[in-house]
Structure 1
Amino acid sequence: MGPKISGKGQQSHRMVILAAIFVLMTLLILYGSNNVTDDVYAPFHVATNHALMTTDLKKWAGREGYVPVSGNKNMSLHCHDCALVTSSSHVLGTGAGEEIDRSECVIRMNDAPTMGFESDVGNHTTLRVVAHSSVFRVVRRPNEFLQRTDSNPVIIFWGPPNKIGKEAKGTLQKSHSWLSTGWFTMVIAIEMCDNIKVYGMVPPNYCLKKPGSKKMPYHYYKPRGPDECLTYLQNESGRRGNHHRFITEKQVFARWAKQYNITFTHPKW
């Protein structure tokens, strides 16, 4: 059974493009909703806020946060089982492509390709979440991302930062951190999926436990790109400029796993 799309969406073969603008609540959820302690993955500090620990993302998620920019469509996807395919090089060599394509819905990020990597990441795409910084890389390859007739994907663009609420923006700038595309993708997946299987995401303490392990490219489609663990550690500890707190985000995902039926594979944790 395929994804459920209200109205005429089930009969349309046109791609739906939606723009997502996330406001202060996502920041509050990151630093408070899961009561993450600051001594589990030392030396990184994670702020806590016990008052928000019962936040339910499925109840919080607001359809009005999505603005259609092509076609008069609503963001009403709902799937029982979802495969969330990360862009990590940990997916290479897994042979998980067929399993991913058997999922009711497949979620991908930014300009991560499927062509040439089908055996490991599959070919089907239901939803693609694209950061404002990756928009041009997506539109430059319309045959791969925008004009596919086999899967008719929904594309959600998020950002840019100057569209975030003033209060949230001030807090983010003060902490020198910005939420990642992976964060927004997970929040969207929780909203639309009953069960989520994440492919290629390492656990929060992976880069701390294996400092001398084999270097892995940050993206599976950029073999000469930066090392994944080095990128995570530099962003987590960076205090100048703006950074994604990848390790902190994964701590939150670990807390969400049981509540929202999230499992992780390749690696399994």
Structure 2
Amino acid sequence: MAQNHTPRPTNLKTWATKDDYVPVLGEERMTQHCQHCALVSSSSHVLGTKAGEQIDATDCVIRMNDAPTTGYEADVGKRTTLRVVGHSSVYRLVRRPDEFMVGGIDDQPIIVFWGPPSKITEDSQGTMYGSIQKICSTYKRALCFTLAPEKMYRFDKLFEWETGRDRFKSNSWLTTGWFTMVIAIEICDNIKVYGMVPPSYCGNQTRSKMLYHYYKPRGSDECVKFLQSQNIQRGNYHRFITEKQVFARWAQHYNITFAHPEW
């Protein structure tokens, strides 16, 4: 975060518009509202928590990208109300759609796809939007949306307002966690986040090695990835720690709590 930066006030409860979410099929509107939400991170901090029953008992359960539930139900639950999917994860959903395009017995799962408009809009020239359409037409029970180009632009500006950094000039890529947290704030009255570490966590020299993704046992160490991405200036990288500094500030305004670890 830029030094001596004063965040620009943005009320995330009111900044959404009816045109922010573009239906992939049909003319459905994004009208989801939940009193209590469980936002389940993809970090290995969720493993061994036995939080699955508590997560599934929440009004709405929010997940990210291709994080699975099968085989991990005791720790992450099995219900999915909303899944936020970045463009880089679309093809993984295509390969294993049965794992991701499901909700609970009473849920009509919502899938929100985000990414560059050149990739995820109906006017895009590549194959990604066709894959999104195929997924959503095969699993008609799910409601599928893409983020409108104007909404994507506003996400970039929000990052600048909150951090003092122009996303493009600072070579910063927003994470799916950034999009998911904002969408959760829009639709949830209360949010409990599972498995997300505080911004200071990776500065603790006595911390244990934790996997970046709970479902990839041979994956990278979470803090190594966070610290490398935070400090690299060339190329485009996620600013995980900067984003979590913003989340910590938002938690004071939007009824957000954190569990496993608690902060």
Distance 2:116 2:193 in 1: 25
User: Which runs of structure 2 are paired with 1:77-116 in the superposition (5 Å)?
Assistant: 77-116=32-71
Asked if the contact 1:139–1:145 (Cα under 8 Å) also holds between the matched residues in 2, the reply is: no
Q: Does 1:185 align with 2:159?
A: no
For residue 109 of structure 2, the aligned residue among 153, 158, 166 is 153
In the alignment, residue 173 of structure 2 is paired with which amino acid? Answer: W
Distance 1:165 1:83 in 2: 27
Aligned length: 222
CA 1:47–1:154: 2 relative to 1, 3 Å: farther
Unaligned runs of 5+ in 1: 1-44
In the alignment, residue 113 of structure 1 is paired with which amino acid? Answer: P
Asked if the contact 1:82–1:106 (Cα under 8 Å) also holds between the matched residues in 2, the reply is: yes
In the alignment, residue 179 of structure 2 is paired with which amino acid? Answer: F
Asked if the contact 1:139–1:146 (Cα under 8 Å) also holds between the matched residues in 2, the reply is: no
Compute the displacement of 1:51 (Å). 6.7
Compute the displacement of 1:199 (Å). 0.1
Query: Equivalent pairs: percent with the same residue?
Result: 63
RMSD: 2.1
- Superposition TM-score, scaled by structure 2 size: 0.79
In the alignment, residue 67 of structure 1 is paired with which amino acid? Answer: V
Secondary structure of 2:257 counterpart: strand
User: What's the counterpart of residue 196 of structure 1?
Assistant: 191
Runs of 4 or more above 6 Å deviation: none
User: What's the counterpart of residue 3 of structure 1?
Assistant: none
In the alignment, residue 253 of structure 1 is paired with which amino acid? Answer: F
Distance 1:265 1:92 in 2: 12
CA 1:145–1:51: 2 relative to 1, 3 Å: closer
Unaligned runs of 5+ in 2: 119-148, 158-164
Secondary structure of 1:60 counterpart: coil
Asked if the contact 1:46–1:248 (Cα under 8 Å) also holds between the matched residues in 2, the reply is: no
CA 1:51–1:108: 2 relative to 1, 3 Å: closer
User: What's the counterpart of residue 68 of structure 1?
Assistant: 23
Compute the displacement of 1:149 (Å). 7.1
Distance 1:173 1:199 in 2: 30
Q: Does 1:219 align with 2:213?
A: yes
User: What's the counterpart of residue 172 of structure 1?
Assistant: 167
For residue 11 of structure 2, the aligned residue among 56, 62, 65 is 56
Secondary structure of 1:156 counterpart: strand
Distance 1:63 1:200 in 2: 31
Deviations 1:89-145 (A, max 9, x none): 000000000000000000000000000000000000000000000001012112122
Distance 1:201 1:124 in 2: 19
CA 1:214–1:149: 2 relative to 1, 3 Å: closer
CA 1:75–1:133: 2 relative to 1, 3 Å: same
Q: Does 1:46 align with 2:2?
A: yes
